[in-house]
Amino acid sequence: MAFARPPNGVYHLKTPVELRAFINVLKKFRGYATTLITLYINSERPMPDVLNLLRSEWSTASNIKDKTTRTHVQDTLERIINNLKGEAKAPENGMAVFAGFHMISQGNYEWVYYVVVPPQPINTFKYICDTVFHTELLEDQLHSGVVYGVIVIERGEAVIALLKNSRWEVVKTVEFFVPGKHHAGGQSANRFKRQTEHLAETFYKLVAEEANRVFLQIPTLKGIIVAGPGPTKEDFLEEGGLDYRLKDKVLAVVPACCANEYGVMEAIKNAQEQLKESEYVKAKETMERVMFYAVKKSDYIVYGKEKVMKALETGLAEVVIVAEELGEDVVLEVIMKAEEKGVKVEVVPKGVEESATLVKAFGGFVALLNAPSWLLEQQQTAQA
C-alpha cells in the first residue's frame, strides 16, 4: 500500500514504533529484476556529491540489456535527482530514499517513493539497486535503542530485568537463603545475628555479580532502577559490590512490593520520572492522559476511526493516539495524514498492557481536541 507524500515529501519518523511500521511496509514491495533503489545519505554528505553519483549511475544503467530493467532504473534515478535537486543538505539525522516501480503483476507496475528521516542518525552513505528495498540500517536502529536496567531485591530473593523500547523482561532470578530476624537473647542471638549478616552479604554479592554480568554487556544502558520493600535495597547498594560503572548509572531507589514481575512493574511505575525517555513509560503516560480526558474532559476527546480522521481533517485534533496492533498500514495512514495537517501522533505499542484498553474501549483510535467535540458534530450535521 502506497501513501500520499506530505507537502515537503519527507516523512519524519520520531519513535521506534513508527519506524517499525514503516519498515514493515517497505518490505512488501518487489521490483522487476534489480529496479528498486535504496539510498542512505548521512548529514555530512554534500548533496552535489549525491547528485553526481546518481547521474553517473544513470549513465551506467544505459548499458543494461533488459529493456524493462533499464527503463525502470533510469526513470527512478531521474525522479530521485529531480526531487533532491532542491535540497541544500540532508537533515541532521540524515535521510533514506526508497524509490522504484513495485511489480503488482507481470507488466503491471506502481510507482513508489519515500524519503524518510529516522529517529536516530544515519552514519553512512549507501546506494543499492535490488529487487527489494534494503532496510537493514533502519532495522539496526530498532535494536540500538535506550535500555534501562531494573533490580528488585528483598530478603533472599531478587530479579534483574531490562526495559527496552516498549517492553520489559526479567532476565535473571536470584534466590538465596537468608534467615529472618532472631528474637532470642544472649550470646546465641549475637552469633545468629552475625551469621545472618554474613548470609545477607553473600546474597548481595551474588545479586551484584549477576547484575554486573548482565548490565556491563549492554553499551546502550542508560540507567538502573533499584527497588524493593524495606531497607534491603539501600543495604544492597551499600554492601553488594555493584560495579562502580553501574553504581554511577543508578537513577533512583524506589519502593516495590516484591522481587517478581509485579515488583518490576511497580518499580517502573514508581520511577516514571527517571524513565521518561523510555518508550514503555511514554506509552503508559499517554494512556493515563487518554483516561483522564475520557473521565474529566469528555467534551475534548473523540474515538473510533471515523471520528478521529474527521477531527484530523477539520483541524480539531490536537493529538492523535493510535494502537500499533491495528497494523502498520493503518498506523502509517494516520501518521501521514497527521503530518500533512501538522498534528502530533502517539503510537501505543503492542507490548504495553494498556494497548488492549485502547483497542477494546476506544477502537484503537483516540483524538484529543483543541475545541469541544460538539463542534465536530455540528460540522457533520451542516454537511449532511
Q: Is residue 36 part of a domain?
A: yes
CA distance 288 to 306: 23
Least confident of 151-160, 275-284, 371-380: 371-380
Check whether residue 151 and residue 269 sit in a common domain. Answer: yes
Q: How many residues does the chain have?
A: 384
Report pLDDT for 196: 62
Q: Is residue 379 part of a domain?
A: yes
Check whether residue 198 and residue 103 sit in a common domain. Answer: no
Check whether residue 124 and residue 162 sit in a common domain. Answer: no
Check whether residue 309 and residue 359 sit in a common domain. Answer: yes
Burial of 106 (0-12, 13-18, 19+ CB in 10 A): exposed
Sequence-ordered list of residues with C-beta below 8 angstroms from that of 306, at least 6 positions apart, any chain: none
Neighbours of 213 (CB within 10 A): 12
- The chain-wide mean pLDDT, for the chain, equals 87
Tell which wins on pLDDT, 181 or 82. Answer: 82
Please state the φ and ψ torsions of residue 312, each to the nearest 5 degrees. -65, -50
Q: Where does the pLDDT of residue 310 fall: very low under 50, low under 70, confident under 90, or very high at 90 and above?
A: very high
Check whether residue 79 and residue 132 sit in a common domain. Answer: yes
pLDDT at 146 exceeding the cut of 90? no
CA distance 72 to 110: 11
Task: Summarize pLDDT for 9-41 with one digit per residue, the tens.
Answer: 688 888 788 888 889 889 999 999 899 999 999
Task: Summarize pLDDT for 207-231 with one digit per residue, the tens.
Answer: 999 999 999 998 889 999 999 999 9
Tell which wins on pLDDT, 329 or 305. Answer: 305
Rounded average pLDDT over 240-261? 93
Check whether residue 101 and residue 74 sit in a common domain. Answer: yes
Closest CA relative to residue 355, chosen from 264, 286, 278: 286
| b/e map 222-253, b = 16+ CB within 10 Å | bbbbbbbbeebbebbbeebbbeeebeebbbbb
Task: Summarize pLDDT for 321-351 with one digit per residue, the tens.
Answer: 999 888 888 888 888 888 888 888 998 887 7
Share of the chain above pLDDT 70, in %: 90
The count of domains in the chain is 3
Residue 7 grid cell = 507537502
Q: Is residue 286 part of a domain?
A: no
Check whether residue 155 and residue 79 sit in a common domain. Answer: no
Q: Is residue 93 part of a domain?
A: yes
Residue 244, domain CATH: 3.30.420.60
Report pLDDT for 81: 96
Check whether residue 131 and residue 176 sit in a common domain. Answer: no
Q: Is residue 110 part of a domain?
A: yes
Rounded average pLDDT over 55-75? 95
Residue 52, domain CATH: 3.30.960.10
Share of the chain above pLDDT 90, in %: 58
Q: Is residue 153 part of a domain?
A: yes
Please state the φ and ψ torsions of residue 323, each to the nearest 5 degrees. -90, 130
Q: Is residue 26 part of a domain?
A: yes
Maximum mean pLDDT: which of 90-94, 348-352, 353-357 = 90-94
Q: Is 186 left (phi over 0), alpha (psi -120 to 50) or beta?
A: left
Closest CA relative to residue 233, chosen from 249, 256, 212: 256
Report pLDDT for 3: 45
Tell which wins on pLDDT, 179 or 76. Answer: 76
Residue 373, domain CATH: 3.30.1330.30
Closest CA relative to residue 178, chosen from 202, 210, 159: 202
* 133: amino acid identity, one letter: F
Check whether residue 163 and residue 131 sit in a common domain. Answer: no
Domain span at 226: 146-277
Rounded average pLDDT over 357-375? 92
Closest CA relative to residue 212, chosen from 176, 246, 237: 246
Q: Give the domain-ending residue among 222, 244, 277.
A: 277
Check whether residue 104 and residue 170 sit in a common domain. Answer: no
Report pLDDT for 1: 39
Q: Give the domain-ending residue among 143, 167, 190.
A: 143
Q: Give the domain-ending residue among 246, 277, 308.
A: 277
Q: Is residue 358 part of a domain?
A: yes
Check whether residue 24 and residue 130 sit in a common domain. Answer: yes
Long-range (24+ apart) CB contacts under 8 A made by 50-58 are: 50/84, 50/125, 51/81, 51/84, 51/85, 53/127, 54/80, 54/81, 54/84, 54/127, 55/81, 57/127, 57/129
